[in-house]
Structure 1
Amino acid sequence: MNSLLKYLSFAVFLILLFSCSNNDSEEVYEDLPSLEERLLAGGQTTVFLTSSNSFSTPAPNLSGSDLTDHLDGDVDFESVFVTAPATINQGLGTIFNNSSCISCHPRDGRPSFPVNINARSGFFLRVSLPGQLTNGSSIPVPGFGTQIQNQAIFGYQPEAKFQVFFSDIIEVLADGTQVILKKPTYSLIDTYIPFPSNGLLSPRIGSPVFGLGLLEAIPENYILQNQDINDGNGDGISGKANYVFDAVSGTTKIGRFGWKANTATILEQCAGAYNGDMGITTYLKPIETGFGQTNGEDGFGDDPELADYILQRVALYCKTLAVPAPRNITDNDVRRGAKIFEQIECAKCHIPKMQTGSYSISALSNQTIFPYSDFLLHDMGNDLADNRPDFLANGSEWKTRPLWGIGLTNVVNNHTNFLHDGRAKNITEAILWHGGEALNSKNKFKQLSTKERNDLLKFINSL
């Protein structure tokens, strides 16, 4: 009888103990997600690095020949171009923004917002006139094209210099924390000819280049299945795909790359960067940036300046960089943060899981990956709007950015500047800049307790 009483007393004690634990603020999240399945963020291309080389490692499952081409492409990616005539790497300019790929994508990551906005950096300005061409692309500004080159080689004049002013936006969180957002307003000064008063400006900053081949390998139907253009489910989120003219095939394709998903392939993205950022011509972009302009025509007649095989090799390099694995996935704070990520509906656009299909590089085929993006366009509100259309993207729409590797930004690049122009100084600011379709999630973020907010940030930083 005494044994039975002891058993019953112990059972009552356990019930009371767990009842108290369930009321503890540390245990309010039930069904904490298992993140183990997300450990291989890039499938078999995943690497387990937490160093400054986290974004710069070749995918470990590459074939011998692909690895050789990757390593050659790495050299090309870091090559610094100089003015013609020269023995190697000639063709810089005559007008340009920077002189190498790595300068805009340091350590294959993201540059910080420049202290001096007119110094060589990963920052530049897209421009166009209102409206669109028949293929949906932006209308170039006469004498300026679709990108402002703020540098020039000796004897030539840049198209313009950049100017930026900041105004404050104060956000107050539920625990009383005040966050001061700095909203930039951009303009052009010292233009070599007058810039049209109706010209549209849109800021850009370089983004990480690892894992791009996996994103190109995602079948269209995986992206399109998340479209909800007319918000049929009534959740306030109406993502749509961008369809763009693809210079490689001469057809219209779904856009995957760039801040507005305005490019269909990595090859064209690379060719566009060589041309627009460095003034270097290729078979895809054979016209000099300063062609026909009084400040920029070199008259050498040496186009295309970059050999086809080098362009192909650099594209392969960008396709085959490994994806870093997430960290601290068994930490309870991180797991609670993952649950909050779902509860405040971040995961509706930053969809964790995607699948690649058959692809030209076998190492990237049929991989389950976790990039945390739907690759669709979303209205992000007035504060982020550039008011510049880009194919199907209107002036307030941006592509959902992948979040994989985001927590390693400070380790790799020594800063935490985010968003399309680097205006956000950390992840908290990046979330608070969200508006439009993401306004509901932003407001839920603002209402989190200090503990909840820290858990969410720990989760995002674990990716």
Structure 2
Amino acid sequence: MGVDASAFADEPAAPPVWTLGDPHLNVVPRTPQEAKRISDVTAMPTDFSVPHRFEEKSAGAATVRVAKSADAFSRPSGNITFEDELNFKVGNGLFRKLWVSAPASTLASDGLGPLYNARSCQRCHIKDGRGHPPEQDDDNAISMFLRVSIPASAATVSATAAKIADYITTAPDPTYGTQLQDFAVQGHASEYRLDIQYTEQAIALAGGATASLRHPEYKAVDLGYGPLHRDAMLSPRVAPQMIGLGLLEAIPAADILAQADPDDADGDGISGRPNVVWSVEFDQPMLGRFGLKAGSPTVKEQSAAAFAGDIGISSPLFPAGAGECTLAQSACQTAVHGDGDNRGTEIDAEGLELVSFYSRNLGVPARRDVGGANVLRGKQVFHATGCAACHTPSFVTHRLHDQPEQSFQLIWPYTDMLLHDMGPGLADNRPEARATGREWRTPPLWGIGLTQQVSGHSYFLHDGRARSLLEAVLWHGGEAQSQRDAVVDMSIADRAALIAFLESL
């Protein structure tokens, strides 16, 4: 494992050579002495009789104490200053704001839609936690939608994108864009209704135990603007948890790229690849970090894209007042939008920065029962089974000039931030930048044991099909097939210990 970042410029079809750095960060370079200390402190554990040093502080100095309420994911970084806590609270207000349609007397809050999935960020990321399929909705909050695209071709790649055509694998549906919206403001038709049907599959486990997996089938029905393109590809998405995003953003790109092994040179069956995406903000290719397929390079760009696609709110990065509406949706294009006042866009640069600051600084709760005998046994099983080959336990973030909360922290996110082929069972068959239709970014595991407390459910994976952590593990295939099979074959005691360890994260 371990290759130079520039090596990835030759995958998959010899695009131009790019250096994937960290233009979004104001970095203080590491000294050789610091690099040695980092290598030592992030080494894989060999002694499972006691907790790893500093392991209980999942986010280093930014770690927060565990709240006993559903607000466990909504506290600011543990090392935030008093002044910046005020900025955090203002950003929280914008994150929770309910947007209204234009024109309205509340000029600072108008511009919703005309097509949208939710009226606020909080309506998908409820309590800053994980979303869920529609069957769990009891308050009309929408936590799930369908991405849509068609295969890219020379005819669909714009002149602006032509210089990075090797990174373009899909194009928007000519009528519906890149995301289906199931709500619309008055006078406009919504785009669709999501229909989900499940089929159960029984799984026999060693020791006489059983589990059941539910196989979903998704359909976009009641289409409001005619049929989808004949080659349309649909991908279901549930809103992920929000904690620790600024720390993930501050991991050096070089440290992430060093773990990639696209040709499985070490023969361990794991061939993680980086996603490479075009940054609208920096006008250059960057390492993809955020989104279920690592399709966005920064917290700010991810936030702006969500404003546009989920709520129909324009921003300096995505300034179209019509949000996700396509040229084929003429009524949406010509509707009154909320960008005709002093803001310039429906959320201005200051507002977008405040929401981004809030999103970067949602604190990661401390580990629980880190020294418990069953948790330590589960940690040993986790490593012995090979789970850490993708779910990398720890990193040290960049030392930063202007982000003290994220600067030089030893963190334990349990992700390598890379793409992995998860097999046909989890495939959405929809590429995204360099991610194939079978690849997903390794999701961080920190905070996963608090999902029930925060979100009121225990649904996992990109579409919430797994109803427990065990089901989520049993859905693993592709590069993780051997790890999944090992969990099926292990003793009931070891399987329970593995789940106890995951629930402690």
TM over 0.5: yes
**Residue 161 (structure 1) aligned with residue 193 (structure 2):** yes
| 2:48/2:377 contact within 8 Å kept | no
Distance 2:326 2:277 in 1: 25
Within the candidate set 454, 459, 463, 1:412 is matched to 454
Q: Does 1:43 align with 2:60?
A: yes
Distance 2:437 2:487 in 1: 25
Q: For 2:399, what is the secondary structure of its paired residue? A: coil
Which residue of 2 is the match for residue 299 of structure 1?
335
Secondary structure of the structure 1 residue equivalent to 2:152: strand
Residue identity opposite 1:168 in structure 2: E
Residue 174 of structure 1 aligns with which residue? Answer: 206
Paired residue secondary structure (1:252) = strand
Alignment of 1:33-432 (within 5 A): 33-51=50-68, 52-86=70-104, 87=106, 88-115=108-135, 120-131=141-152, 133=157, 134=162, 135=164, 136-137=167-168, 138-191=170-223, 192-287=225-320, 288=322, 289-292=324-327, 293-294=329-330, 296-300=332-336, 302-303=338-339, 304-359=345-400, 360-432=402-474
Q: Percent identity?
A: 39
Q: Is the 8 A contact 1:117 1:162 kept in 2?
A: no
Contact 1:341 1:347 in 2 (8 A): yes
Following superposition, the deviation at residue 185 of structure 1 comes to 1.4
The Cα of 1:355 is off from its aligned counterpart by 0.9
**Bigger Rg, structure 1 or 2:** 1
Count of residue pairs brought into register by the alignment: 435
Instruction: Determine the C-alpha separation between the residues in 2 that align with 1:99 and 1:387.
Output: 29
In the alignment, residue 147 of structure 1 is paired with which amino acid?
Q
Mapped to 2, the partners of 1:412 and 1:35 lie a distance apart of 27
Look up the equivalent residue of 2:440 and give its one-letter code: W
Change beyond 3 A, Cα 1:427–1:361: same
Relative distance call for 1:166 and 1:462 in structure 2 (3 A) is same
Residue 170 of structure 1: how far off its partner (Å):
2.3
Kindly provide the amino acid, as one letter, of the partner of residue 391 in structure 2.
Answer: H
Cα deviations by residue, 1:43-100 (Å, 9 ceiling, x for unpaired): 1000121422211101121123322211110111111111112214111111110111
Compute the TM-score of the two structures, normalised by the length of structure 1: 0.91
Q: Give the letter for the 1:131 counterpart.
A: A
Partner of 2:496: 454
Matching residue's letter, 2:365? P
CA root-mean-square deviation: 1.7
Aligned residues of 1:33 and 1:338 also touching (Cα < 8 A) = no
CA displacement at 1:143 relative to structure 2: 1.1
AA aligned to 1:40 is K
Structure 2 gaps of 5+ residues are 1-45, 340-344
**CA deviation after TM superposition for structure 1 residue 180, in Å:** 1.5
Q: TM-score, normalised by structure 2?
A: 0.83
Shift of 1:117: 8.2
Flag structure 1 segments of 5+ consecutive residues without an equivalent: 1-28
Cα separation, 1, equivalents of 2:248 and 2:83: 21
For residue 217 of structure 1, what is the amino acid of its counterpart? A
Whether contact under 8 Å (1:158, 1:295) holds in the other structure is no
Give the Cα separation in 2 of the matches to 1:47 and 1:239: 31
Whether contact under 8 Å (1:355, 1:366) holds in the other structure is yes
2-structure distance, mates of 1:327, 1:184 = 33
1:107-154 deviation per Cα after TM superposition (whole angstroms, max 9, x unaligned): 111122221789541101100002364432430000110000111111
Aligned amino acid, residue 349 of structure 2: D
